[in-house]
Amino acid sequence: MDQIRVTGGNALNGDIPIAGAKNACLTLMPAALLSEEPLTLTNAPRLSDIRTMSKLLESLGCEVAPLQDGKVLALGCGEITNHTAHYDIVRKMRASILVLGPMLARDGHAVVSLPGGCAIGARPVDLHLKALEALGAELDLRDGYVHAKAPAGGLQGGKVSFPFVSVGATENILMAATLAKGTTVIENAAREPEIVDLAQCLRAMGARIEGEGTSTITVEGVDRLHGATHRVLTDRIELGTYMLAPAIAGGEVTLLGGRRDLLGAFCEKLEQAGMRITESPRGLTVARIADTILPTDVTTEPYPGFPTDLQAQMMALLTLAQGESVLEETIFENRFMHAPELIRMGARIDVHGGTAKVTGVSKLRGAPVMATDLRASVSLVLAGLAAEGETVVSRVYHLDRGYERLEEKLSAVGAQIRREKEDA
C-alpha cells in the first residue's frame, strides 16, 4: 500500500494544470447507456473512480475505450446486455447508483446494488428512488439491491419535487426523464456546474432540457438519443484544493483553466482569510498577501454556497489562522473525521456534532497520519506543506479516487513531496 511523505516549509510558485471534473465525468459516463450510438468524452480525468465506472459500464455491456493517454473516453452501449449492477463493483463508489435511471429509461428494467464509497455518512438513495417512482417506476428493495421496473409504456413524465437539494438524485432523474413520455418538471433541483454540464451533454445527444443551473428543470422526453462528443467540465474541487496550497504554504500559484464562477463562495472565504485571487485568460492566480492567515467562519451549502467537498481542505488552512474559526457542515454527517488527524499535527479543533471550532496555532508539526476519506486525505497533505518536519499520510488510495498526479503537480511548484510504499 502506498503512502505520501511531505516535508513542509517550502513556498509554492508556478503553474498547476487543473484536470477535468471527477464528479462531472462520473455522471456523464452513465449517460452513454441512454443511446445506441457512441458518446465521446474529452478532458476526462485519469482517476481510479473513472476506472471503476468504466468497469461497471463494461459489466452492463458497454465498450469503454480510453484514448489519448486516457483523457478521451469513447463509450459505446449499442446494447445493454446485462441489467444488473453487482455489489462487487458498486460498493466501491457512490456514483454507481447513476446507472439506474438510464437503464430504466432505455430498457424498462434494472437491478442495482445499493452503493458504497467514502464513510462520510449514510447518504441514502431514497431521493433517487422517490423521483423515479414519480415517473411511474415500480421499485422493490431486497437483499441489498434495488429492483426497478418501468410501466408497460415506459417511464412517464411527471413532477418531481425534492424536499432538499440532492446532486445525485437530480442527475439520475434528469437522465431518466430524457426518454420518458411527456414532460418532467424537477423542482428544488441541484444547481451545481456538474448538473449544467450533464444537461449540455444530454442536449448534444438530442435531449430537450430547459432550466439547468436554476432550481427548476423542465425536460420534454424524446423517443431516442444519439451519439455526441462532449468536453468534461474543469474540476472545481481540484481547483479549490490547489488554490489552498499557496494559501497555506505561501507563494503564488496559477491554476490553469480555473474560473472564479465555479467557486464564488469559496473564493470569498479565501479572500477573507487574507489571500489575493486574480482571474485571467490562463486561469486563477492565488497568493498570500499577508504574513498571517485570518480566521473566517464557513458553512457548507449546496451550490452556489461553500462546497462540502472543500470543507476539510479549508479546515487545514484555518488551523494556522490567527484567531478562532467555526466550520459548520450541513451536507453530510461524519465529515470531520480528518480533525483528529490534524490534531495529531498540533491543530486545536473542537468538534460538536456538525460544528467544528478551530483555534489557530502558530505552527503545525509533521506526524504520521491516516486518510479517512477522499477529501480528508488531501487536507492532510495540505497541512503537511506548512508543517515543521515530515508528514506521512497513509491509506492514500482514498486520494487516488479524486486527484490526478498530485505529487507531480505539487512538486512542480516547489513542494517536497513523494509517494512511497508503506513499510510491511
Residue 309 assigned as binding residue? yes
d(CA 188, CA 162): 6
Active site residue 118: yes
331 is in an annotated binding site: yes
- Residue 23 marked as a ligand binder: yes
CB contact set of 342 (below 8 Å; sequence gap of 6+): 315, 316, 319, 349, 364, 369, 379, 380, 383
Which H or E element spans position 57?
helix 48-59
Q: Are 383 and 342 in contact (CB under 8 A)?
A: yes
- Ligand-binding annotation for 94, yes or no, is yes
Beta bridge partners of 159: 185
CA distance 214 to 9: 43
Q: Are 254 and 282 in contact (CB under 8 A)?
A: yes
Q: Which of 25, 62, 118, 267 is catalytic?
A: 118
User: What region does 182 belong to: left with phi over 0, alpha with psi -120 to 50, or beta?
Assistant: left
Burial class (CB in 10 A: 0-12, 13-18, 19+), 300: buried
Residue 125 annotated as lining a ligand binding site: yes
- Longest CA pairwise span in the chain (Å): 67
402 close to 371: Cβ distance less than 8 angstroms: no
Whether the upstream peptide bond of residue 304 has omega within 30° of 0, thus cis, is: yes
Classify each residue of 106-126 as buried b or exposed e, where b means 16 or more C-beta atoms within 10 Å of its C-beta: bebbbbbbbbebbebeebebe
Tell me: is residue 22 an annotated ligand-binding position: yes
How far is Cα 147 from Cα 236, in angstroms, rounded to an integer? 34
Question: Which of 217, 168, 231 lies closest to 20, judged by CA?
Answer: 231
> Is 124 marked as a binding-site residue?
yes
Contacts of 124 (CB under 8 A, 6+ apart): none
- Whether residue 291 is annotated as binding a ligand: the answer is no
| Known binding-site positions for UDP-N-acetyl-alpha-D-glucosamine | 94, 123-127, 309, 331
**Hey, which residues are catalytic here?**
118
